[in-house]
């Protein structure tokens, strides 16, 4: 049967701005409607930038009717309220009716499933909806929300209630599929995330967007993963990984920040207080602690000491640094981009590198040490210390 869905997304409603588990609240109804065969789905009111769903410009005045603005269908599914936790079972019951009205405990209309010619007799105004539906006569069959369906979003407490229902539902499904979630009460997983059986999620984790946690990977405790891939056997401890890929057997954290655009290879060590941005890190490389590497390609089996900074920004443009395989970068080194370090290079601690370094070379770029003997005593005698 040809079914068209229309979802109210009124900018005046809190639900229009609300996000639940990293997804817009209205997206849950869009996904549910499509799962029930709705070929055409529209938002009535404000568009949603993250959804490929057309929006209807309307001031909800009822002129012209919302239903006259879209291509008709045999049946229409209309959501008057945002119901992100609505279950498939309840929607199925509604769509079993020839003309069904979904209501809450106070008999307030939540959704309507009806033939298209019936919908065209309605203005689309929520303020007059009850009276218009009553005028249709005894054709309506009422279906009630269950406690598992949550509630319509009217305030922040409603957002929390729906989030809790969805979070528990998602976590339960993952655990039944073989994912180990140590503390489900503190674990938040997007419905778009893919977690493979055998992965381990420690307490206090947020796995958002279209993230992919591969088998035997360990996330947490206290980690945030957004639109990223965590490879088989990798570990992310008390760190954030945003729009990046972490290779198999790699360890990240604690307190690392992997910013968008990073491709971290296998068996890499990203230690505490390391920040990466648009960085490609080769297999077996170690970045132990306290470094910023942005806009860089770092080869395999490299060692990066503490306090290494890639100076990639001149105030107007950003530049790239390339480091070859098997290179050793000492502590407190500045790499002034753009610069190219060849394979098997050594950079002396405390150096500021502004020129390319050829393969197998040692680069030293720091002032020569000078010791001024008895300087302290002379200053004290003059009363200057």
- State the DSSP string of 216-251: T-EE-SS-EEES-EE-TT-EE-S-EEES-EE-TT-E
190 pLDDT above the threshold of 70: yes
Task: Read off the pTM.
Answer: 0.90
210 is catalytic: no
Query: pLDDT tens for residues 98-127?
Result: 889 999 988 888 999 988 888 887 877 777
What is the pLDDT, as a whole number, of residue 348? 97
C-alpha span between 7 and 32 (Å, rounded): 11
C-alpha span between 192 and 26 (Å, rounded): 15
2 pLDDT tier (thresholds 50, 70, 90)? confident
* Cα dist from 33 to 7, 22, 76, 88, whole Å: 9, 19, 11, 10
State whether residue 173 is helix, strand or coil. helix
Query: pLDDT tens for residues 315-359?
Result: 999 999 999 999 999 999 999 999 999 999 999 999 999 999 999
Active-site annotation holder among 174, 188, 212, 289: 289
Domains of the chain in start order, with CATH, are 3-149 (3.90.550.10), 178-363 (2.160.10.10)
10 pLDDT tier (thresholds 50, 70, 90)? confident
243 pLDDT above the threshold of 80: yes
What is the pLDDT, as a whole number, of residue 63? 58
Q: What is the DSSP string of 344-383?
A: T-EE-TT-EE-S-B-TT-EE--SPPP---TTHHHHHHHTT
What is the pLDDT, as a whole number, of residue 64? 59
Site of tokens 């307190």: 255
What's the whole-number mean pLDDT along residues 288-309?
97
- For the chain, percent of residues with pLDDT exceeding 90: 72
Query: pLDDT tens for residues 128-137?
Result: 777 887 787 7
What is the pLDDT, as a whole number, of residue 354? 96
Winning range, highest mean pLDDT, from 70-79, 131-140, 187-196: 187-196
Looking at every residue in the chain, the average pLDDT score rounds to: 92
What is the pLDDT, as a whole number, of residue 164? 97
What is the pLDDT, as a whole number, of residue 60? 53
Give, in degrees to the nearest 5, the angle at Cα 266 between 231 and 202.
40
What is the pLDDT, as a whole number, of residue 46? 78
């Amino acid at each position: 049967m040809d079914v068209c869905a229309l979802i109210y997304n009124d900018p005046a409603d809190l639900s229009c701005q609300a996000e639940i588990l990293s997804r817009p609240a209205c997206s849950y109804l869009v996904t549910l409607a499509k799962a029930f065969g709705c070929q055409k789905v529209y938002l009535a009111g404000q568009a949603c930038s993250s959804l490929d769903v057309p929006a209807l410009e309307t001031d909800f005045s009822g002129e012209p009717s919302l239903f006259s603005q879209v291509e008709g269908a045999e049946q229409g599914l209309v959501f008057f309220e945002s119901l992100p936790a609505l279950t498939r079972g309840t929607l199925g019951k509604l769509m079993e009716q020839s003309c069904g009205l979904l209501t809450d405990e106070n008999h307030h209309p939540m959704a309507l499933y009806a033939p298209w010619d019936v919908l065209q007799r309605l203005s689309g105004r929520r303020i007059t909806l009850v009276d218009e539906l009553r005028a249709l006569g005894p054709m309506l069959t009422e279906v009630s929300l269950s406690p598992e369906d949550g509630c319509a979003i009217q305030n922040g407490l409603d957002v929390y209630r729906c989030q809790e229902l969805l979070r528990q539902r998602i976590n339960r499904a993952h655990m039944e599929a073989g994912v180990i979630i140590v503390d489900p009460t503190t674990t938040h997983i997007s419905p778009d995330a893919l977690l493979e059986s055998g992965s381990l999620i420690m307490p206090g984790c947020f796995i958002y967007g279209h993230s992919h946690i591969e088998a035997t990977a360990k996330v947490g405790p206290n980690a945030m993963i957004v639109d990223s891939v965590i490879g088989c056997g990798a570990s992310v401890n008390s760190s954030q990984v945003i729009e990046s890929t972490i290779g198999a057997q790699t360890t990240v954290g604690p307190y690392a920040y992997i910013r968008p655009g990073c491709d971290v290879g296998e068996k890499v060590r990203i230690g505490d207080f390391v920040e990466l941005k648009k960085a490609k890190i080769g297999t077996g490389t170690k970045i132990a602690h306290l470094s910023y590497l942005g806009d860089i390609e770092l080869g395999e089996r490299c060692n990066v000491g503490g306090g290494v900074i890639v100076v990639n920004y001149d105030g107007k443009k950003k530049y790239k640094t390339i480091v070859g395989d098997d290179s050793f970068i000492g502590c407190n080194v500045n790499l002034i981009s753009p610069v190219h370090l060849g394979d098997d290079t050594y950079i002396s601690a405390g150096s500021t590198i502004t020129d390319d370094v050829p393969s197998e070379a040692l680069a030293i770029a720091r002032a020569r040490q000078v010791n001024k003997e008895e300087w302290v005593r002379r200053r004290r005698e003059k009363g200057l210390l």
